[in-house]
Every structure is written in structure tokens, then in C-alpha cells.
Structure 1
Amino acid sequence: MSSRRRFYARPLIATAASLVVLTGIASAAPAATPATPPAATLDDTYYQNALGKTGTALKSSLHTIISDQTKLSYSQVWDALKATDQDPANSSNVILLYTGRSQSKSGNGGDVGDWNREHVWAKSHGDFGTATGPGTDIHHLRPEDVQVNSIRGNKDFDNGGSAVSGAPGNYTDGDSFEPRDAVKGDVARMILYMAVRYEGDDAFADLEPNDRVSNGSAPNIGRLSVLKQWSQEDPPDSFEKNRNQVIFDRFQHNRNPFIDHPEWVEAIW
């Protein structure tokens, strides 16, 4: 497997100026952007019991905190993604994760050219499918082009490979997928969220990152060392922070702690 080191600019995406109101079918009418609470406020309330901890103690505390959530059905995910991933410049569209393309919210489905629901933690890694729980957790579900989603499949994440057709800046080979630079950190933080949220105590597998690829159906995804690097090189931007807030305010009412505290990646792993 080849590897490359590339330097890149932060994406020029402004904080979302509007969000849709979901009433079963997404509306294009703009609504006020939810305000992200200051870190100090979150630390005084939501993360209070995690402060000052590291390693397994921090991971355990965060697991307890973020496990308090509202669960969605798989069909509800469609409308949720139309709000969480809304294009800040066009309230009728969503931004696709790997391609970065802005596409009509109504263009979702299973046909060529549609967008569908990408499980960033591949659902076969732990065999949870689309079951309510990890299979419907929108902290790791993102809109993506049907064909690009298929190319990624259930591959682990790593650097290297050949260019992905229709998705500039993405690369893949036989056992791994490398997303475009602008969302590398997003991918890493989604994977690590899943590893903290699902610890094997709720009828689902204990999901854990490791430093391998070709994990198959094991409840693991790699490559951890690369994911940690991606999280450092691509810190949370306004789009990712807003997405975290929308999930908290309107849907699951839990947060991805690695968006609020990126330093906790190193504190745990």
C-alpha cells in the first residue's frame, strides 16, 4: 500500500445560516442556526463528570454521558440527515461526505446519482446492520453518493490507493479508503465516537478501533494511528460543530465529545 503526506487548506464552508424544520418531509424554509454552547458551559453541565480524567476512566465517563440519547428508526434517518448535513449556502440541498457535492435533499434513494445513508463505521464491522442503535446513530451516518458509498463498502480507513471516480481527493485500494482532506478529521471523530458509545453493554458488540485494516466482520475498524493523525490535522470546523449541535438539540440529544474536546482523542488513545 502506498502512502502520501499532503498539506491542505481548511474548507471554505461558513457556519450554517439556516436549518430545515422536519415535519415528516423536510422543508426548504430556513430556520435559525442553533447556537453552540461555549465549551465552559458544556464542561459545567454535560461533561462535568468527565473532567480531569484520562485513559479508560475518561472513556468510561464519556460512555455513560453520551449513552443517554434518543434513538431513531432507520427511516427517520433520512429526514434527520436533511437537517444535520444541510448545505449552508442552499437550504434545499445537503453536502455529501466524500464527494463534497451539494445535492438536492429530494435526490435520495438507491439509484445511480442518488444519495443514500453511509455508515462511516461500516455496519458489518460488528454485524449491527440497520438495527436501532448503532445502525441508526446519526453521529456516524452521513449522506453520500450511491456509487461512491458502494466503492467505500466496508473498507477500513487508511492512507493510500487509487483515485476514486467521481469523488476527487478520495483514494481506495483493496482493503482501505482514504477520504478527502476536508473531512478526514470528521471521519476519525465519528469512528472514535462509536468506539466510546458502543461498549458491548446494550446487546450490541463492543466496537473498538485498532491499528489494522481488513478487519472484516470483527467489531473493529482501523487504522487507529492514521485516524488520530487525521483528527489532529483536520480539527473540527463550523460545519461539523453545527452538525453536532443539531443532533443534540433536535434528534438524539447526545453529543460527539471529540468535536467539543478534540484533545480527548489523545487522552484516551
Structure 2
Amino acid sequence: MSRRQRPARRTLLALCAATAVLATTVAAAPAVASQETASATASTTATAALDDTYYQGAIGKTGTALKSSLHSIIKNQTKITYAQVWTALKATDQDPANSSNVIELYTGRSISKSNNGGNSGQWNREHVWAKSHGDFGEATGPGTDVHHLRPEDVSVNSIRGNKDFDNGGSAVSGAPGNYTDSDSFEPRDAVKGDVARMILYMAVRYEGDDSWPDLEPNERVNNGSSPAMGKLSVLKQWNDEDPPDAFEQRRNQVIYDQFQHNRNPFIDHPEWVEAIW
């Protein structure tokens, strides 16, 4: 074959390869779309069933009336001890790809369920609503509510500390995509909505009528020991930008079925965030 013929042959081979890839992609696309549609349909069906039963008293309400109705619904829960939280998190945050592991909230790292404790490189129990904000500690109640407790690397948990949530700061060592400064913490994009919905769940569940403080979101950072967490405007933005995914929805269901028997309503209805706040 002459040198002049070789480029033409290469062009023809490349065109054939591209056509084959395109054909494969087109063939695969309907299957992927079908799976996504089926998942969305199943989620919609499940939510409709909850609206007819669990959330029946809240449907059609907004503002303080909705918040009050949801509080009445979700305060009916089975309480667990702080020691039992270890067992719960191993079920609620199980790695979908490895049943022997859990997924850490901020790092996103998959780590052995048995590698839990207080030492460097282990995972521990992160209070997303910092327990010092309201001074409820680890006693049974808000301190053991699994809806806002998540597995997290010991060192990264320490870096977050009791900071409020806001955008900005410097990169967090060992946790790509997370940022922090002296008074706030920004989680990675994939869990921003998770964090927002956990904080707002706490604000609805704990209204000061069961010996625990009345927890509320506000527009501040540096909330210290007051029963408040900020910033609300940022949390609302995160709820919009990062809607509930399959992991978060499964987690909500496991808590409901196996442990507390109550739900985070903002996972089932993320639009209720705007309806209340």
C-alpha cells in the first residue's frame, strides 16, 4: 500500500469506529433513561402513599401551620441510646457497593464498618446539628437522633467541630471538596442538600415542648451554645441545588423501618423547605 493510501484508510477506519460507538450509545440510552424513569416513578408512587397515610395531616398546608403539623407527625419516634447509634449508622449509611463498609458524610470515603472509634483514620458519630448548639450533648433525644448523625472521619469531624454552615473558606485536608474558615463549614457538593435537610429536620422535630431546646435555623454563623444553626439562606440554596438521591432516600426509609419509625419530611418533600421558610 502506498503512503498516499494509508491516511485515507486510517480515516475510513476511524469513521467506522465512531459509527459503532454512536450506535452503541444510542442503543444504551433508552435503557438508561428507562431505569431513571422507573426509579422516579417508584419514588413518586411511594411519596403519594405516604401523603395518604403518614403525612395526611400536613398536606395542603404552608408556613407555620405546615411546620406545626410536621412536628406533630415526626415527634412520634422510638428513641435509641448513643451506644445504639453505632449499630444504626452501620445500617443507614451502608455503602451500596460494599455491605461491609459505610460511607463517610464529608469525605465520601468508603470505610469498614468495624473501623469505628475515636482514633485517627477511624470513623465516628458526627452530629450535623452540633450538639453544643442547644447544649443537648449525647443524651437520648436530639443527641442520639439518627436523622442528623452520620459516619465521619475522626480528624475531619474535629475540623468541622461545632461550626455553622456557610459557603467559602480553605480546602479541608483529607476531605476534597469541603471548605472551612474560623466560623463556618461548607460540605462537598454531593451532600450539601443532605446537610440542609438534616438541619431543617431538627428545627421541626425539636420545638421545645419535650424538655429539649427549641432548635431553629437563622442567618448567622458563630451561634455558639444558642439553639440555632446558620445560615438559613445557604441551607435553602443547598436544598435546591442538591435534591435527595437514592442513598439519602434509602437512609430515610431504613431509619423509619428499623430504628426510629419517623421520617425526615424534607427528603420526601424537599419543596416543603420553601413552603415553611
TM-score, with length taken from structure 2: 0.84
Alpha-carbon offset, residue 118 of structure 1: 0.1
1:193 to 192, 201, 211: 201
Instruction: Answer 1 or 2: higher relative contact order, Cα 8 Å, separation at least 6.
Output: 1
Deviation at 1:38, TM superposition (A): 1.1
The offset of 1:79, in angstroms, is: 0.5
Which structure shows the bigger proportion of residues in helix conformation?
Answer: 2
Q: Which of these residues, 265, 268, 275, is aligned with residue 267 of structure 1?
A: 275
Residue of structure 2 equivalent to 1:224: 232
Tell me the distance in 1 between the aligned counterparts of 2:64 and 2:189.
30
Other-structure match for 1:210: 218
Aligned residues: 236
Larger-Rg structure: 2
Find out whether 1:182 has 2:182 as its counterpart.
no
Cα displacement (A) at 1:53: 0.4
Deviations 1:28-75 (A, max 9, x none): xxxxxxx96611100000000000100000000000000000000000
**Residues 45-194 of structure 1: matches in 2 within 5 Å?**
45-194=53-202
Partners of 2:112 and 2:165 in 1: CA distance:
28
1:250 to 248, 252, 258: 258
Counterparts of 2:48 and 2:235, CA distance in 1: 27
After the TM superposition, list the runs of 4 or more consecutive aligned residues in structure 1 that deviate by more than 3 angstroms. none
In angstroms, what is the RMSD of aligned CA positions? Answer: 1.1
Counterparts of 1:165 and 1:101 in 2: how far apart (Å)? 14
**Percent of aligned pairs with the same amino acid:** 83
For 1:35-46, list aligned pairs within 5 A. Answer: 38-46=46-54
Cα distance in 1, alignment partners of residues 184 and 209 from structure 2: 29
CA distance in 1, matches of 2:170, 2:183: 12
Normalised by the length of structure 1, the TM-score is: 0.87
Q: Which runs of 5+ in 1 are unaligned?
A: 1-34
Distance 2:165 2:268 in 1: 23
3-state SS of 2:219 partner: coil
Give 1:127's aligned amino acid.
Answer: D
Cα deviation, 1:190-243, whole Å, max 9, x if unaligned, reads 000000000000101000000110000000000000000000000000000000
Q: Which runs of 5+ in 2 are unaligned?
A: 1-41
Amino acid in the other structure paired with 2:271 = E
What amino acid does structure 2 have at the position aligned with 1:210?
Answer: N
